[in-house]
Amino acid sequence: MNSAPHDENTTDAGEGWSEDMELAPVHPGDREPAEPDDEREGERLQKVLARAGVGSRRVCEDMIDAGRISVNGRTVTVQGMRVDPLRDKIAVDGARLELRDDRVTYALNKPTGVITAMSDDRNRPTIGDMVGDLAPGLVHVGRLDQDTEGLLLVTNDGELAHRLAHPSYEVRKTYLAQVSGSVPRDLAKRLRAGVELDDGPVRVDSFRVVDTHAGQSVVEVVLHEGRKHIVRRLLAHVGLPVSRLTRTAVGPVKLERMRVGSIRRLSRAEVGALQEQVGL
């Protein structure tokens, strides 16, 4: 069946389906008892893909024919497969897509002065003020210091938030820091090897100088640590006090050209990529 050419007249379950067939009334008595391999539960894959904005149903069918779609890690090449968008892991060209409509994840470009909390009993500005009532149950993924700006994720997917923030999943965070002092040539090597701070060692995944001018430099630090003030403490420890700190990426999600104080909803592909990173 897998290798048979697509036949518009085929009427077997899962093949040669059309809108008409989908909508045709079925008398309950007409239903055949479900066979073990008859997956009537769920929704047709091409319909789920089309609803997720991958393309029209026709385009999605062509993508299935071309072997570009996988479900739970297996390439699907037959039309009409039924899937459960709440459970099945669907990928397009190997890139996972979040298909649940009840889960939302936003990226904020947090300004300095705003604290990473949903509310504050001292009435300071919070990211809760920024996301307002975009969705119920939003939580922030990790924290940025009050005087740090940049990318902060907010989601109503508790498990995703937990895993992204948990050090064991080793999600890389990228920071740009403006520092004073000159950057020693061997610093990248030293930081990659690890340095000892008061609360234990820290190692960066990468370090590079982006720009240097008039005794100030902008450096990029990538690390998968979540300890408090970690970037400021690390750079101060090597003689480079930080005057400005911006987070520019969390795993595959990038701040890019988001304006300070702006919010955007992540695409299904971005959420899928985050899920992949943390094994969801």
Whole-number Å distance between alpha carbons of 254 and 269: 13
Which among 50-58, 118-126, 144-152, 266-274 is the span making contact with ligand URA, rule CB under 6 A?
A: 144-152
Helix axes 158-165, 268-277, angle to 10 degrees: 50
Contact between 229 and ligand URA (CB under 6 A)?
yes
Q: Copy the structure tokens of residue 255.
A: 């701040």
Contact between 245 and ligand URA (CB under 6 A)?
yes
Closest alpha carbon to 169 in 161, 158, 179: 161
The only residue of 148, 155, 174, 275 in contact with ligand URA, by rule CB under 6 A: 148
Contact between 250 and ligand URA (CB under 6 A)?
no
Residue of 145, 147, 198, 211 marked active site: 145
Alpha-carbon separation of residue 112 from 57, 126, 148 (angstroms)? 45, 11, 5
Give the residues across from 219 on adjacent strands.
177, 209
Whole-number Å distance between alpha carbons of 108 and 131: 8
Closest alpha carbon to 262 in 175, 160, 152, 176: 152
Contact between 224 and ligand URA (CB under 6 A)?
no
Smaller CB separation from ligand URA, 217 or 275:
217
Note if 145 is an active site residue: yes
Q: By the 8 A CB rule, do 134 and 104 touch?
A: yes
Whole-number Å distance between alpha carbons of 272 and 227: 26
Smaller CB separation from ligand URA, 246 or 277:
246
Contact between 144 and ligand URA (CB under 6 A)?
yes
Smaller CB separation from ligand URA, 17 or 175:
175
Q: By the 8 A CB rule, do 91 and 271 touch?
A: no
Contact between 99 and ligand URA (CB under 6 A)?
no
Contact between 15 and ligand URA (CB under 6 A)?
no
Which among 89-97, 101-109, 180-188, 228-236 is the span making contact with ligand URA, rule CB under 6 A?
A: 228-236
Contact between 172 and ligand URA (CB under 6 A)?
no
Contact between 231 and ligand URA (CB under 6 A)?
yes
The only residue of 15, 43, 65, 145 in contact with ligand URA, by rule CB under 6 A: 145
Q: By the 8 A CB rule, do 200 and 190 touch?
A: no
Closest alpha carbon to 109 in 271, 267, 256: 256
The only residue of 108, 232, 249, 269 in contact with ligand URA, by rule CB under 6 A: 232
Residue with tokens 């923030």: 165
Contact between 276 and ligand URA (CB under 6 A)?
no
Contact between 39 and ligand URA (CB under 6 A)?
no
Smaller CB separation from ligand URA, 138 or 177:
177
The HSE-up count of residue 159 (CA atoms within 13 Å, CB side) is 8
Which positions touch ligand URA (CB under 6 A)?
A: 144-145, 148, 229-232, 245
Catalytic residues: 145
